[in-house]
């Protein structure tokens, strides 16, 4: 029955691929009725930002190491619905399965399972089960359950539960998954209030609480047993009849809600009063508005448009919509990386929201401002008397990395966060956001460059002993990516001080006094930016990844079998660090983000480093595809884009079971817009340098730029329509577009 994707491995993948989420809650696509006892499942429900504090354990510790970490929790489970027919419990693994279709409807905003099933005793029934996490009311999740009898006449019993005995998934053999701390959330109390059943749970250390409240639109009666509370409904079915009911679920937590019970009960009362048709209607309306700007269309190759838009939908379903949360590496689809937020958010995910959903981008950036005090505390723990060190991995803003050479040593995340604020300003022109949030973040994080960097005897600004994006190269001097991003960061910190002064001298006086910053400190930052050392090889005409990378022993790629990748799972880090091998884009990523070198250097660097890259990181293929477009290697651009596009859909990295690679979802979008669209934002405005794969007839996408919505189509020409006048550059030639512009590709290449 593998054609139905119900082998254990396929089900684990589909639990991630078809998860239901809205940025606040996420539920893996587990079967409501469960699996056979010998099957493995990662049965999970998650609240973004809800965590427990756990102790960091080291064989040998040292001063300044993180002493504790946060871990995203698998919360109380409201998914279970068991339905029986004359005592026969429905299960896809018994009887005869005539049809199983599962899909995620990204237009309507729900996942659906359609089943045609004959029980062991010959009862023929059809099911349609929909799941929806509301974008209108983020705490609300709905299971819409319909069962139709084909030939069955008899009793039906429904058991709908909240399960309190939940644990987190662990795997001691995979560093990408938590190895310890499975049981961290404890059910405290269950109750029934009218037609609502509820359960509350709490953590031991963080002292956070959460609750699940459930009601149904049929008259269930309720029973409590151990750590489970269930609603029961009994009825009869005749051939041709359909039994329908809705399970309305409200999640609340003490981070956001002062009264868990009251808030949830109000949500569920409103849910019942409005009815299921209302929730489908507002969900579709929300997504119509979203797709109006976010939709990408590719003509000429079947399936690509759907796969791209699937990726962008996952970004929407995973991104936190408030300042208490962000986007974890696996979103809300699984427990990989323990729910931690990385630099993935800034470099791979926020660009999509900046271009299509700026309010979400602002919230994600505000998270870094809200957690700045923790970043300052981390800086002090690492020996820095001033400034802020953005954590490598976190939930609340504290560093959770237990392996500093490839974690906390990645100081570049300070510049990555700053880069996002700068890019947002260039797209939006919103200096008020910089005054309210951005400048403080840029200043405090920039202060660390002035502490860890120094001027050498040739007046070059050097930065030693850091790790760049490439996690296979640790603790190096003058990592090109780090230095180049720090240069950009320092320059814009100084520049924003001038822009704020010009815009609002009074605001600048307040900021200056509150942050203790003066002209001398800012001028030193600008001087460091101007004198930043960016390693370069005159012989190779490439940007050097760091001072010593090119002198390392080459990795034996030909002698490394495919089953030894990813290297991080098969070789000691010291073996990897001694060799000339990359996990992911590093210098190539800097060239993409900053566009700061000549075309010759960019092309030479791309070819040099691409040949040494394993792409063991899901962050790698998309960047190499974008830069292949930049250097006009369209075949490689297409190949890398397809690799990124199907990374999760085809489970090419072998760990989709632990959750989707949400940064790669952002990379898919960037591959279209920044890669084939050639879109960049620079200080002088919006730039395009379009191209497209030969296999495609056209590419279409839309973005927001300043006050305008800009729609771009690339076929034999570049066609641009705007709803407000826009100045932009196409292949460095400036155009003023009043409403529509068409330029043939031939004229621009």
For the annotated catalytic residues, the residue numbers are: 471
Provide the H-helix boundaries in 584-721.
Answer: 587-594, 599-610, 620-630, 634-645, 662-670
Written as six digits, the tokens of 387 are 């400034």
Helix H or strand E encompassing 210:
strand 209-216
Written as six digits, the tokens of 1 are 């029955």
N-to-C CA span, the chain: 53
Longest CA pairwise span in the chain (Å): 90
Cβ–Cβ < 8 Å for 552, 470: no
Neighbouring CB atoms inside 10 A of 543's CB total: 26
Cβ–Cβ < 8 Å for 79, 43: yes
* Sequence-ordered strand ranges (E) for 654-697: 680-682, 685-688
In angstroms, the CA 88 to CA 117 distance is 12
Is residue 380 classed as helix, strand or coil in its secondary structure? helix
Nearest one of 575, 531, 536 to 553, comparing CA atoms: 575
Residue showing tokens 């693994």: 93
What sign does the CA torsion over 671, 177, 613, 535 have? positive
Q: What are the b/e assignments for 262-275, b being 16+ CB within 10 Å?
A: ebbbebbbebbeee
Cβ–Cβ < 8 Å for 323, 370: yes
In angstroms, the CA 102 to CA 92 distance is 13
Written as six digits, the tokens of 568 are 């991080």
How crowded is the C-beta side of 7, counted as CA atoms within 13 Å?
Answer: 5
Residue showing tokens 């296979």: 472
């Amino acid at each position: 029955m593998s054609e139905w994707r119900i082998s254990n491995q396929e089900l684990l993948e589909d639990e991630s691929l078809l998860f239901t989420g809205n940025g606040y809650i996420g539920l893996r696509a587990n079967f409501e009725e469960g699996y056979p006892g010998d099957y493995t499942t990662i049965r999970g429900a998650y609240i973004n930002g809800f965590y427990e504090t756990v102790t960091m354990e080291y064989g040998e510790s040292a001063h300044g190491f993180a002493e504790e970490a946060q871990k995203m929790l698998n919360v109380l489970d409201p998914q279970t619905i068991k339905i029986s027919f004359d005592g026969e419990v429905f299960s896809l693994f018994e009887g005869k399965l005539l049809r199983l279709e599962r899909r995620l409807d990204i237009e309507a905003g729900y996942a659906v399972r359609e089943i045609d099933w004959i029980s062991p005793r010959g009862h023929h029934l059809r099911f349609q089960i929909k799941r929806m996490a509301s974008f209108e009311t983020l705490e609300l999740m709905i299971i819409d359950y319909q069962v139709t009898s084909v030939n069955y006449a008899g009793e039906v019993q429904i058991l709908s539960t909240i399960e309190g005995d939940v644990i987190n998934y662990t795997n001691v053999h995979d560093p990408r998954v938590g190895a310890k701390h499975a049981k961290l959330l404890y059910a405290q109390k269950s109750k029934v209030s009218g037609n609502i059943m509820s359960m509350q749970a709490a953590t031991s250390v963080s002292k956070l609480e959460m609750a699940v409240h459930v009601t149904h639109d049929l008259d269930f009666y309720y029973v409590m047993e151990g750590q489970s509370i269930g609603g029961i409904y009994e009825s009869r079915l005749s051939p041709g009849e359909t039994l329908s009911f809705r399970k309305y679920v409200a999640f609340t937590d003490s981070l956001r809600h002062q009264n868990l019970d009251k808030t949830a009960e109000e949500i569920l009362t409103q849910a019942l009063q409005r009815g299921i048709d209302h929730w489908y209607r507002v969900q579709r309306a929300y997504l119509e508005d979203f797709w109006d700007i976010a939709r990408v269309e590719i003509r000429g190759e079947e399936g690509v448009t759907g796969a791209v838009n699937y990726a962008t939908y996952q970004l929407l379903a995973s991104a936190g919509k408030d300042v208490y949360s962000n986007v974890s590496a696996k979103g809300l689809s699984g427990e990989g990386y323990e729910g931690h937020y990385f630099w993935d958010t800034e470099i791979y995910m926020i660009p999509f929201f900046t271009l299509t959903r700026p309010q979400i981008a602002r919230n994600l950036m505000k998270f870094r401002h809200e957690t700045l005090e923790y970043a300052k505390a981390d800086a002090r723990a690492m020996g820095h008397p001033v400034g802020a060190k953005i954590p490598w991995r976190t939930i609340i803003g504290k560093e959770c990395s237990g392996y500093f050479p490839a974690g906390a040593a990645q100081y570049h995340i300070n510049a990555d966060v700053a880069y996002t604020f700068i890019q947002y300003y260039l797209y939006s022109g919103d200096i008020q956001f910089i005054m309210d949030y951005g400048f403080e973040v840029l200043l405090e994080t920039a202060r660390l460059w002035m502490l860890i960097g120094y001027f050498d005897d040739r007046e070059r600004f050097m930065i030693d002993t850091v790790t760049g994006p490439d996690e296979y190269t640790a603790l190096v001097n003058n990592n090109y990516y780090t230095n180049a991003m720090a240069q950009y960061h320092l320059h814009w910190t100084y520049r924003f001080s001038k822009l704020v002064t010009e815009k609002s001298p009074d605001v600048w006086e307040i900021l200056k006094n509150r942050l203790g910053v003066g002209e001398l400190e800012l001028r030193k930052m600008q001087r460091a930016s101007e004198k930043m050392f960016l390693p370069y090889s005159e012989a190779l005409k490439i940007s050097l990844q760091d001072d010593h990378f090119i002198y390392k022993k080459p990795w034996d790629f030909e002698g490394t079998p495919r089953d030894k990748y990813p290297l991080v799972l098969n070789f000691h880090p010291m073996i990897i660090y001694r060799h000339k091998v990359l996990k992911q884009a590093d210098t190539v990523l800097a060239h993409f983000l900053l566009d700061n070198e000549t075309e010759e250097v960019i092309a030479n660097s791309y070819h040099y480093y691409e040949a040494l890259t394993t792409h063991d990181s899901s962050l790698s293929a998309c960047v190499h595809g974008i830069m292949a477009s930049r250097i006009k290697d369209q075949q490689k651009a297409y190949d890398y884009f397809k690799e990124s596009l199907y990374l999760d859909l085809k489970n090419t990295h072998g760990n989709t079971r632990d959750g989707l690679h949400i940064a790669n979802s952002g990379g898919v979008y960037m591959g279209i817009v920044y890669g084939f669209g050639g879109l960049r934002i620079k200080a002088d405005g919006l730039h395009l340098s379009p191209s497209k794969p030969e296999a495609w007839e056209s590419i279409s996408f839309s973005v927001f730029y300043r006050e305008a919505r800009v729609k771009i189509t690339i076929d034999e020409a570049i066609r641009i329509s705007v709803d407000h006048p826009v100045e932009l550059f196409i292949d460095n030639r400036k155009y003023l577009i009043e409403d529509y512009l068409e330029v043939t590709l031939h004229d621009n290449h």
